[in-house]
Structure 1
Amino acid sequence: MIPAGSHRRRLGALAILAALAPLVLGALAPGRAGAADKEVTFAHQDMVVPFRALMDSGAIEKATGYTVHWRKFGGGGDVIRAMASGNVQIGEAGSSPIAAAASQGLDIELFWILDEIADAEQLVARNGSGVKSLADLRGKTVAVPFVSTSHYQLIAALAGAGLTQKDVTILNMRPPEIAAAWERGDIDATFIWDPVLARVKKSGTVLISAGDIARQGKATFDGLVVDRAWAAKNRDFLVTLVKLIAAQDAAYVAKPWAADAPEVKATAKITGSTPEEVPASLAAYRFPTLDAQASPAWLGGAAAKALTETAEFLKAQGRVQALAPDYGRFVTTDYAAAARK
């Protein structure tokens, strides 16, 4: 950024700077002309997935030649807001915030299913809260990151128990805030993921999991989304990224990591988990293969259907104002299909 003030006193200098500004900005902004063609800002969260070890290894930078600016966020809603600002090109978000973003017209594409959430997100009641079942949540306080997959699942769980949002006090908190509130005894329950999930379960009781809700017809997932315009100019990067993630997932599935594995230590460092917590956290997810990603089971059909159903649910709950005409427009098999060849 060019500073204002005493260095711009002369009109001639201003004219020169004005002429140079596009070149300077192009050199600084990821995805634009110049050296920044080899830069990308990637927003991630703290979910415990094999991708974390890949991030830590530097393999993505080495294979693509790109400088990757990793930025950690507390929830998918925060990731989507960062992408909407134009400061982030690729981000991790759950199916609920992705559906909300598509409903609001954000020009993004879902290009990879990072994980099927399965049992990796759970609703836990604090011991001593008096909550033994979903029905007992009436009049209680529950914390969850708003517009996350956990938020979507919480509302679905309440509805299944005959409760509405008016029957429960729902607080919007990021995972670290939830952990602190739990320790203080400020909340009665939370629907959350690891590493916070592993910690609250030590002094709480699981009421229902994302897997239970998925079996009731409301499946959820975490995905990678990309700014559509940036993707069009950086296709090779995305194809290579997909190949690397698929290989890392396959290696983990073939031989799950023990607590002393270097990949576990890397995952713990990025997520804030302990190495002892990581193996069980990883085991709670399912990771679609490269072949499955481009098939109708995921990016080829089911993902768009899940986004559509999630968006309809969010609209009914007043979380989005309108629905997109076609959620399939926000999903692409292009990079996964290219990575298979």
Structure 2
Amino acid sequence: MTRNTTFFGMKELALVGVMAATLSSPAMAAKEVTIGYQGMFNPMKYAIDQKLFEDATGYSIKWRKFDSGARAITAMASGAVDMTVAGSSPIASAASNGIDMELVWVMENIADAEALVVRKGSGISSPSDLKGKTLGVPFVSTTHFHMLFALEQFGLTEKDVKLVNMQPGAIVAAWQRGDIDGAFIWDPALGTIKQDGEVLITSKQLSAWGKPTFDGLIASKSFTQSHSGFVTEFLTVLAKTDEEYRSNKEGFSADHPIAVSVAKLTGGKASNVPEAMSLYEFPTVDDQLSCQWLGCEAQGGAVKALEATSQFLLQEKKISGLQPDYSVFVNPSYAAQIEL
């Protein structure tokens, strides 16, 4: 498969989608889907902003923005969304709770894009200094999972610190008021608190210690069974948009159309987008289908990550039980049909 796609190539993809939608039946053009997304800095925001998904699929898409994966999962469980982006921790929680969904795409390997930042002047210069401090984190998120794992590695427990359940916007406000000593969060909130804070540890280091995290796109199984073609077309747009970013990564700047769209949809500053996006790793289609992520069934990286995360969540009493087989919640078949 050819992997090279230019900015104009994506536009051509959109035009082909428009023509296909025009030539399709009225019933096809009238199909609707509700999709959730979050404020992570990723190329998907460009495709949303430019309506590339709608143009390529002919579907009418209702977009819902969520502040946290936990809220996105609640929406999925209630049937309020057909597909949504969420972190691996809330996805693991959803799978463990038996929500009828499947992971169809790994949006990004989080790596250094999530970090535990402590306030300058808070007296925290090493992990042991966290004892007795107040830390903000969105509960049941990837950062919550890594916060708990970090405390475990540091020889601390939840009783040694005060963890406060806060969404990204609330973390920024609490930071500015001086109500919290630190926070484990992602951009754009991460970039804001970094301005007068110090990074104590990032998710990349914690992943290297054996507990990887990622952001993924999940879909209701009832939806994918009835709209398999849409899912593949949707992922094709994602793959092309990611490739556009990767092919321009070395010279990626704030005035690139992707950066402009990311800033627009997340509420961040375009000037912060290049550095923030460089902290993520966006898997290619081949990566998606490899044993590192969606491939290799029970031995695949995504399945193992969901298993490990679920075991940790059970230990922390965040879920009530484990599933016998987490591979049923990972489906690479749609990505396998992508033709670039």
The verdict on a shared fold, with TM-score over 0.5 as the criterion, is yes
1:250 shift after superposition: 1.0
Give the alignment of 1:199-218 within 5 angstroms.
Answer: 199-218=192-211
Q: Measure the CA separation in 1 of the matches of 2:64 and 2:130.
A: 35
Q: CA deviation at 1:132?
A: 1.0
Q: Work out whether residues 43 and 88 of structure 1, in 8 Å CA contact, stay in contact via their aligned partners in 2.
A: yes
| Counterpart residue type for residue 161 of structure 1 | F
1:262 to 257, 263, 270: 257
Q: Percent identity?
A: 46
How many angstroms apart in 2 are the aligned matches of 1:157 and 1:262? 37
- SS in structure 2 of the partner of residue 163 of structure 1: coil
**Residues 118-176 of structure 1, C-alpha deviation per residue, up to 9 Å, x if partnerless?**
00000000112111111111000000000000000001111111000011100000000
Aligned length: 308
1:277 alignment partner, SS class = helix
What whole-Å deviation, never above 9, does each CA across 1:185-219 have from its counterpart, x for those lacking one? 00000000000000100010100000010111111
Q: 1:37 offset after TM fit, Å?
A: 6.3
Aligned equivalent of 2:67? 74
Instruction: Indicate whether 1:296 and 2:295 are aligned.
Output: no
Secondary structure of 1:154's aligned partner = helix
Q: AA paired with 1:333?
A: P
5 Å-filtered alignment, 1:9-24, equals: none
Secondary structure in structure 2 of the residue aligned to 1:245 = helix
DSSP 3-state at the match of 1:339: coil
Letter in 2 for 1:172: N
- Residue 305 of structure 1 corresponds to 304
CA distance in 2, matches of 1:87, 1:308: 26
What CA distance in whole angstroms lies between the structure 1 residues aligned with 2:39 and 2:30?
A: 28
Give the conservation status (yes or no) of the 8 Å contact 1:291–1:340. Answer: no
Conservation of the 8 A alpha-carbon contact between 2:35 and 2:63: yes
Q: Deviations over 1:226-261 (max 9, x none)?
A: 000011000111101111111111111111221111
Match of residue 250 from structure 1 = 243
Q: 2: CA distance between counterparts of 1:180 and 1:171?
A: 13
Residue 7 (structure 2) aligns with: none
Contact 1:290 1:340 in 2 (8 A): no
Aligned partner of 2:216 in structure 1 is 223
Contact in 2 for aligned 1:145/1:175 (Cα 8 Å) = yes
**How far has the Cα of 1:292 moved from its partner?**
1.1
Partner residue in 2 for 1:56:
49
| 4+ runs deviating over 4 angstroms | 34-37
| Equivalent position of 2:169 in the other structure | 176
CA gap 1:35/1:288 in 2 versus in 1, 3 angstroms: closer
**Among 280, 284, 287, which residue is 2:282 paired with?**
287
CA deviation after TM superposition for structure 1 residue 36, in Å: 8.9
Task: Tell me which of 103, 106, 109 is aligned to 2:102.
Answer: 109
Are 1:141 and 2:141 matched, yes or no? no
Aligned CA distance change for structure 1 residues 66 and 144 (closer, same or farther; 3 Å):
same
Equivalent residue letter for 2:208? R
Corresponding residue number in structure 1 for 2:16: none
Structure 2: how far apart are the matches of 1:127 and 1:36?
Answer: 54
What TM-score, normalized by structure 2, do the two folds share? Answer: 0.89
1:193 aligned onto 2:186:
yes
Matched residue, 1:316: 315
RMSD: 1.2
1:122·1:197 contact (CA, 8 Å) conserved in 2? yes
Flag the structure with larger Rg: 1
Q: Could you say if the C-alpha distance between residues 94 and 252 of structure 1 is closer, same or farther in structure 2, counting changes exceeding 3 Å?
A: same
Q: Residues of 2 paired with 1:340 and 1:137: CA distance?
A: 49
- The one-letter amino acid of 1:43's match is G
Q: Secondary structure of the residue that 2:338 maps to in structure 1?
A: helix
Matched position secondary structure for 1:224? strand
The residue that corresponds to 1:276 in the other structure is: 271
Mapped pair 1:124 → 2:123: no
**CA distance, structure 1, for counterparts of residue 128 and residue 38 of structure 2:** 31
Q: 1:154 maps to which residue?
A: 147
